[in-house]
Amino acid sequence: MATTIGSVDSASHRYMVQAVGVGDPSCATMVNDGVYLDRDARTVRYLPRESWSEPKRPQIRPSEAMSLEGRVTLAALDASLVSEFRVKLPLLLDASGDDGVRADFLQQFGKRVEAALGAIGMIAESVRVCNVAVNPPGTRSTGKDFVTHEYVGLHIDNHDRLPLASRRTAIQLMTLNCGRSTRYFHFIDLPVEELAKILHSPLDDPQEDRATACDALKNKFLESYPDYPVTRVALPPGSLYVTTPQDIIHDGAGGDVDADVAFLMLGRYRMS
Ligand SMILES: [Fe+2]
């Protein structure tokens, strides 16, 4: 199994972590020494090894945060907003509840998150979807296959089935931790275009389904470079990240005691 990362070290466009309106992003960031194949899974599921340590690479400090493209951007919102969301959780999770009422609440909450983001200089435009995701305590993966309902481990999203060469400009996702525990965002800091370059894979093959192509790219990279570090960002309650999940291998994980609760908002984000 190949473990050299010589060519990866020359990668030119890594995703970096930056913070808006909160402290040094290095404090929230850890790295490990790679991934393992989860033998309990029925599909090919890679998870990060639990060998976290402080990163050697510098992260982008708040005063330098400008572009949200090619970055994982951290921010924090008022704790009372998140508490209000938690109060409404029974309504959101009631399977026999009214879908219209649930959708209205999520949309209204999204408007309030937009306003709170605006107050820290981040503008949300073209918001497409507001949703809630809940996972049991101790979850080691939050990405789900919507057909099998299984956690997929590290993956690349495919909402728009975009060509691999266009992934960098894909719609972004804001995920706000509305639970009581710290949750984690895990990612490989190389964009899809860079993965394809490293693996000598075509950036787009019109013969192939793009979701399948992306999944194959992810599996090939993690199989070829299992020791490539995963970056972990810690998100205490009320913290959020914005990134482009159709452009990077990523996943989430929750705390061990409380359920993992996240509010998600797909849209276009920029700094004012
Ligand atoms: Fe995802």
- Asked whether residue 201 is domain-assigned, the answer is yes
pLDDT tens-place string over residues 163-178: 888 899 999 999 999 9
Are the C-beta atoms of 185 and 17 separated by less than 8 Å? no
63: CA distance to ligand 1 center in Å? 28
1: CA distance to ligand 1 center in Å? 27
pLDDT at 77 over 80: yes
pLDDT at 252 over 90: yes
145: CA distance to ligand 1 center in Å? 10
- Tell me how far apart the alpha carbons of residues 240 and 75 are, in angstroms, rounded to a whole number: 5
68: CA distance to ligand 1 center in Å? 18
Q: Please tell me what DSSP assigns to residue 183.
A: E
- Asked whether residue 213 is domain-assigned, the answer is yes
Domain containing 202 — which CATH number? 2.60.120
64: CA distance to ligand 1 center in Å? 27
pLDDT at 82 over 60: yes
153: CA distance to ligand 1 center in Å? 9
Range of the domain at 263: 6-271
pLDDT tens-place string over residues 33-71: 999 999 988 889 999 999 999 988 767 766 666 789 999
- Asked whether residue 215 is domain-assigned, the answer is yes
Say what the pLDDT of residue 197 is: 92
Are the C-beta atoms of 80 and 178 separated by less than 8 Å? no
175: CA distance to ligand 1 center in Å? 10
266: CA distance to ligand 1 center in Å? 11
- Asked whether residue 235 is domain-assigned, the answer is yes
- Asked whether residue 1 is domain-assigned, the answer is no
- Asked whether residue 36 is domain-assigned, the answer is yes
Total number of domains constituting the chain: 1
**Of 55-64, 88-97, 212-221, where does the model show the most confidence?**
212-221
pLDDT at 2 over 80: no
141: CA distance to ligand 1 center in Å? 10
Classify residue 142 by burial, with Cβ atoms within 10 Å: 0-12, 13-18, 19+. buried
Q: Mean of the pLDDT values across residues 115-130?
A: 94
SS3 call for 218: helix
pLDDT tens-place string over residues 189-210: 999 999 999 999 888 777 678 8
Which protein residues have a CB closer than 5 Å to ligand 1 (ion)? 143, 157, 245
- Tell me how far apart the alpha carbons of residues 161 and 157 are, in angstroms, rounded to a whole number: 9
Say what the pLDDT of residue 7 is: 54
245: CA distance to ligand 1 center in Å? 6
Contacts of 253 (CB under 8 A, 6+ apart): 139, 140, 141, 142, 183, 184, 186, 260
156: CA distance to ligand 1 center in Å? 6
155: CA distance to ligand 1 center in Å? 6
- Asked whether residue 188 is domain-assigned, the answer is yes
- Asked whether residue 115 is domain-assigned, the answer is yes
Mean pLDDT of the chain: 89
133: CA distance to ligand 1 center in Å? 11
SS3 call for 133: strand
157: CA distance to ligand 1 center in Å? 5
Using a cut of 0.85, tell me whether the model's pTM lies above it: yes
Q: Please tell me what DSSP assigns to residue 203.
A: S
Say what the pLDDT of residue 146 is: 80
